Chain A
Amino acid sequence: MEVSGDKRFRILSCIDGSDESYRGLHYAARLGSGVDADIILLYVRAVDQDMRSGGLQPRVFRENLLDWGLDLPGINYLKKGREALAELGIMSDHWTERAVHVDRQGDPLGDNSIEYTNRAGKKIVLKLIVAPDIVEGILKECESNEYDLLILGASERWRPGRRKSFWDPAVAEKVVARAPCSVIVARELKENYGHMICTNGSEHAIDVARKDAILASRCQCPISLICVVPEGESEATAMDALVRTRQAIEADDVVVEEVLPRIGDPVEEIVKAGAHYSVIVIARSEKRPKWWLLETDIAYQVMEHAHNSVMIVR
């Protein structure tokens, strides 16, 4: 079934050469196979620090590298990603290819992309863009080309440590805080263990749960629901929220595998229970602080403390 225009589901998979980013890509391929999705592989190259090269413009050594027939940094990573998609059977025959170059930031090599399209209109795009820094590059790409889902590896390179820093929050944290779409922060991402969707029974949470449940079911990922109520409240309250969410999901013909009522600290319980699943799915609060440094949203805290992948749905 061909779906065209802005109804296509678009997944942006950020690649930085790490194993984690390729695991994220595998997952993107799986999610993308269940729906009529385009997959965009993105590598962001920090703009050359022209004032640091001693007065020589970076174009001098970049052109010299190209003259030797050497690729730009990042192209190999993207090629490896394309090969991974081919091995998964996502890219077979009959794909047309289109290369696009756009000058950026005064950088001679600018933004480059190769767009592969099959007969059904499905697109796989390899994008290599240049930006002042990685976060700005990812966010700019998100904002200028609407995406439904962003998959970002919490890799060593983009997330150097778990240490929280006021002045320089890690890339994943910055992207999650400012991304205009839903984000999966991939961490030890394993397939086939299903989605654990968090709900509190609110309309917003149920809506998010329905959306993810449809996505998960189409790529044959088992679905579980969890609701955590604070100490002092009864398990019945959690069950009530779970039942309402389950009914909403099953109304869409999607099967909920299990429900997990829990009592205690929401972040701790979600992180503990979520460790057995591929992805913890959690909605961002509707009432978010205007200043992201003051972020206290449970979704944000789960992302920070989880040991596995977290999908934050907006």
Chain B
Amino acid sequence: MEHRIDRSLARTARAALIRGQGTLGLGWRRFNASPYRTLLAYLLAKKWLFFAVLVGIAMLDLPLPEGLTEAGRIVLTMSVVATILFVTEPIPLPAVALLIVVGQVLLLGLDSSEVARSLMSDSVLFIMGSLMIAVAVVKQKLDKRLAFLIIRFTGTRTSNVCMGIALVSGVLASFIGEHTVAAMMLPVGVTLISLTSDDPARVRRLAIVVLLSISYGASIAGIGTPSGGARNAIMIGYWREFFFDPGNPETYRYAVDYLKWMAFAYPVFLIQIPFVTSILFWTFRPKQKSIARAVVRLRAQLADQGPMKPADWATIGLFVLILLGWILLSDGIGLGTVAVLGAAAFLVIGLVRWEELNNGVNWGVVLLYAAVISLGVEMKVTGAALWVAQSFLSLLQPLGVDSGFGLWAAVSVLTSAVTNTMSNGAAVAVLGPITLNLAVVAGEEPLVIGFITAISSAFAYLTVVGTPACTIVYASGYLRTTDFLKAGWKMMVVSTIITLLAAWLYWPLLL
């Protein structure tokens, strides 16, 4: 073979010399894509939209099931179609929100002003305010000081640094939201990785462990306080909407405030922290036991920041005030008012410009949550949620999991499955009305079922799109989608067990 190639090379080289190195003839390019293929590609891209529409038509065309009203059927159809679109995303998610609004007017026959009013609630105000605060906090560039703090206390052992990252990410995320923390900590993680080696292949396992410490640390913490994530505010809103009656003192416990939420959920978060590092190291086993070189170089980079500036202190002070406002005032004026007041304070003091907030907040997400919460309320009003809850319970009955621990586990598994396919806020918004009605039908405590739903919605460790923190660290380019699967299922098992144990052993003490 080698001889043949050598001989051939000599001959072809000679031929090339004779011919000269001119250009190739035309004919290598200028083909147009077939319009049929383009059309087919478009149809395939939108296949789930057509599927959702067909499912919707079929549901509206089937005989009305016993116990379900016509209005309930329409709302249920809208919910199913919206869920398919959330999961498969053939159209932009804000478009789904707009269609929900239109559907309530055209299909349900509701007054448009009434629908518009239902879009804005304290929960939505809270989500909006929290996002603006998140952008304002990220803009203050406190991440470098955080990084300095972490490496100062953890030393250079890889496991200690990762544990420190998970802990700091977690504690911060529990108050200011996982997306904020992931955005702040991502450069810290990527810098540590790139300072260890320029070659991504050499530090691949280290990169996975560091970056997943950020995302999983932040994800498990998002349930810690109401301000940890939109889902918490949504569940608080549902409890208040469905069960709270100002004239009935027995229902006051459903007006869950900041501290009460923390009392239920914060221990669940804290217990999970050591498991994050253990599971990640057990799964990926990074070669680098120490990242002393990277830590020393990062320290040198961070050391020249100088002392804290007035703006840094003002940011920290303002955030502490907002936190105190949530704890002390939210019972009276609502979590949303405090959040919006906090965002306004950042603007008034001049720590952030409106253009920065406007560019940094994805208003489509706010619209999406508003529409889904509005649909969730309609699920309750029309009796659709109750009907689905009864049907679901009748399915669980033969399995013997229609009450107590079995039902909690079923709710947790259902929520975990749903949240891995869509954003956790949307999962709680869609499932909340159903699981809370399930609690009523099964004679369970709605607070317990509600907490299980909200907390389980954080167990979206399996996919990139499951939680904002996972999406953000994935954007670094260091991770593969399969990395989330490898460690995620272990995290899911541990988190589910801890939550169910809390519901069984700890929460009864608080009720």
Q: Which residues of A contact B (CB under 8 A)?
A: 1, 3, 7-10, 17, 34-36, 45, 48-62, 64-65, 67-68, 70, 72-74, 76, 139, 143, 146-149, 157, 167, 177-178, 180-182, 192-194, 207, 211, 214-218, 220-223, 252-255, 257-258, 276, 288, 290-293, 314
B360-A59 in contact (CB<8A): yes
- Residues of B contacting A53 with CB < 8 Å? 179, 362, 468, 471-472
User: When chains A and B are docked, how far (Å) is the Cα of A218 from the Cα of B9?
Assistant: 10
Known interface pairs A67-B141, A76-B200, A220-B13; A60-B21 also in contact (CB < 8 Å) = no
> Residue A64 contacts which of B187, B464, B468 (CB distance < 8 angstroms)?
B187
User: When chains A and B are docked, how far (Å) is the Cα of A143 from the Cα of B368?
Assistant: 35
User: When chains A and B are docked, how far (Å) is the Cα of A190 from the Cα of B237?
Assistant: 62
Tell me the B169-211 residues at the A interface (CB within 8 Å). Answer: 177-180, 182-184, 186-187, 190-191, 194, 198, 200
- Residues of B contacting A223 with CB < 8 Å? 8, 12
Complex A-B: 24 CB contacts under 8 Å: A9-B24, A34-B21, A35-B21, A49-B464, A52-B468, A54-B178, A54-B423, A55-B362, A55-B366, A56-B138, A56-B362, A57-B362, A58-B472, A58-B475, A59-B360, A61-B186, A61-B475, A62-B475, A73-B477, A76-B200, A157-B480, A167-B47, A182-B28, A223-B12
Q: In whole Å, how far is B87's beta carbon from the nearest beta carbon of chain A?
A: 12
User: When chains A and B are docked, how far (Å) is the Cα of A218 from the Cα of B23?
Assistant: 10
The interface size of chain B toward A, counting residues with CB under 8 Å, comes to 81
B15-A253 in contact (CB<8A): yes
Render B466-502 as a binary contact track against A, CB cut-off 8 A, 1 for contact. 0111011001111010000000000000000000000
Give the contact stretch, choosing among B63-71, B127-135, B338-346, B401-409: B127-135
A54-B187 in contact (CB<8A): no
Which A residue sits closest to B93, measured CB to CB?
A51
User: When chains A and B are docked, how far (Å) is the Cα of A3 from the Cα of B211?
Assistant: 48
B15-A217 in contact (CB<8A): yes
Question: Knowing that A58-B472, A64-B183, A218-B16 are A-B contacts, what are 5 other residue pairs whose CB atoms are under 8 Å apart, sorted by A's residue number?
Answer: A54-B179, A55-B468, A56-B472, A211-B24, A211-B28
A220-B12 in contact (CB<8A): yes
User: When chains A and B are docked, how far (Å) is the Cα of A17 from the Cα of B198?
Assistant: 13
A276-B36 in contact (CB<8A): no
B28-A9 in contact (CB<8A): yes
B24-A181 in contact (CB<8A): no
Tell me the B1-50 residues at the A interface (CB within 8 Å). Answer: 1, 4-5, 8-9, 11-13, 15-16, 18-34, 36-37, 40-41, 47
> Residue A1 contacts which of B1, B20, B26, B37 (CB distance < 8 angstroms)?
B20
In this assembly, does B441 line the interface, its C-beta being within 8 Å of a C-beta of chain A?
A: no
In this assembly, does B306 line the interface, its C-beta being within 8 Å of a C-beta of chain A?
A: no
B186-A64 in contact (CB<8A): yes
A180-B32 in contact (CB<8A): yes
> Residue B361 contacts which of A56, A211, A214, A254 (CB distance < 8 angstroms)?
A56
Which B residue sits closest to A148, measured CB to CB?
B28
Q: In whole Å, how far is A268's beta carbon from the nearest beta carbon of chain B?
A: 22
- Residues of B contacting A3 with CB < 8 Å? 22-23
Q: In whole Å, how far is B447's beta carbon from the nearest beta carbon of chain A?
A: 25
B22-A1 in contact (CB<8A): yes
Which A residue sits closest to B27, measured CB to CB?
A211
In this assembly, does B108 line the interface, its C-beta being within 8 Å of a C-beta of chain A?
A: no
B187-A65 in contact (CB<8A): yes
In this assembly, does B143 line the interface, its C-beta being within 8 Å of a C-beta of chain A?
A: yes
- Residues of B contacting A9 with CB < 8 Å? 23-24, 28
User: When chains A and B are docked, how far (Å) is the Cα of A293 from the Cα of B131?
Assistant: 44
B187-A67 in contact (CB<8A): yes
Tell me the B315-344 residues at the A interface (CB within 8 Å). Answer: none
A54-B177 in contact (CB<8A): yes
- Residues of A contacting B21 with CB < 8 Å? 1, 34-36, 218
- Residues of B contacting A55 with CB < 8 Å? 127, 131, 134, 179, 230, 361-362, 365-366, 468
User: When chains A and B are docked, how far (Å) is the Cα of A52 from the Cα of B364?
Assistant: 11
B365-A51 in contact (CB<8A): yes
Q: In whole Å, how far is B457's beta carbon from the nearest beta carbon of chain A?
A: 12
B194-A35 in contact (CB<8A): no
Which label, helix, strand, loop or mixed, suits the secondary structure of the B interface?
Answer: helix
A51-B191 in contact (CB<8A): no
Tell me the B200-235 residues at the A interface (CB within 8 Å). Answer: 200, 229-230
In this assembly, does B248 line the interface, its C-beta being within 8 Å of a C-beta of chain A?
A: no
> Residue A61 contacts which of B36, B94, B178, B183 (CB distance < 8 angstroms)?
B183
Known interface pairs A9-B24, A61-B472, A217-B12; A54-B33 also in contact (CB < 8 Å) = no
- Residues of A contacting B472 with CB < 8 Å? 53, 56, 58, 61
- Residues of B contacting A193 with CB < 8 Å? 1, 5
User: When chains A and B are docked, how far (Å) is the Cα of A291 from the Cα of B368?
Assistant: 36
- Residues of B contacting A207 with CB < 8 Å? 27
| Most B-side CB within 10 Å, residue of A139, A253, A293 | A253
In this assembly, does B280 line the interface, its C-beta being within 8 Å of a C-beta of chain A?
A: no
In this assembly, does B92 line the interface, its C-beta being within 8 Å of a C-beta of chain A?
A: yes
Q: In whole Å, how far is B296's beta carbon from the nearest beta carbon of chain A?
A: 17
Q: In whole Å, how far is B108's beta carbon from the nearest beta carbon of chain A?
A: 25
In this assembly, does B465 line the interface, its C-beta being within 8 Å of a C-beta of chain A?
A: yes
Which A residue sits closest to B14, measured CB to CB?
A255
In this assembly, does B359 line the interface, its C-beta being within 8 Å of a C-beta of chain A?
A: yes
Which A residue sits closest to B182, measured CB to CB?
A61
- Residues of B contacting A218 with CB < 8 Å? 16, 21, 24
Known interface pairs A1-B22, A35-B23, A143-B33; A194-B8 also in contact (CB < 8 Å) = yes
User: When chains A and B are docked, how far (Å) is the Cα of A7 from the Cα of B28?
Assistant: 10
A255-B179 in contact (CB<8A): no
- Residues of B contacting A290 with CB < 8 Å? 34, 36-37
Known interface pairs A35-B24, A149-B28; A192-B198 also in contact (CB < 8 Å) = no
B8-A57 in contact (CB<8A): no
> Residue B30 contacts which of A50, A67, A146, A215 (CB distance < 8 angstroms)?
A146
Q: In whole Å, how far is A273's beta carbon from the nearest beta carbon of chain B?
A: 13
Which A residue sits closest to B360, measured CB to CB?
A60
User: When chains A and B are docked, how far (Å) is the Cα of A9 from the Cα of B478?
Assistant: 34
B9-A222 in contact (CB<8A): yes
B33-A180 in contact (CB<8A): yes
- Residues of A contacting B478 with CB < 8 Å? 73
B23-A7 in contact (CB<8A): yes
B22-A221 in contact (CB<8A): no
B16-A217 in contact (CB<8A): yes
User: When chains A and B are docked, how far (Å) is the Cα of A68 from the Cα of B471?
Assistant: 20
- Residues of A contacting B31 with CB < 8 Å? 180-181, 314
Known interface pairs A8-B23, A177-B37, A215-B24; A222-B4 also in contact (CB < 8 Å) = yes
| Most A-side CB within 10 Å, residue of B18, B131, B187, B194 | B187
| Top 6 A-B residue pairs of the complex, sorted by shortest distance between their CB atoms | A73-B477, A54-B468, A54-B179, A222-B8, A148-B28, A61-B183
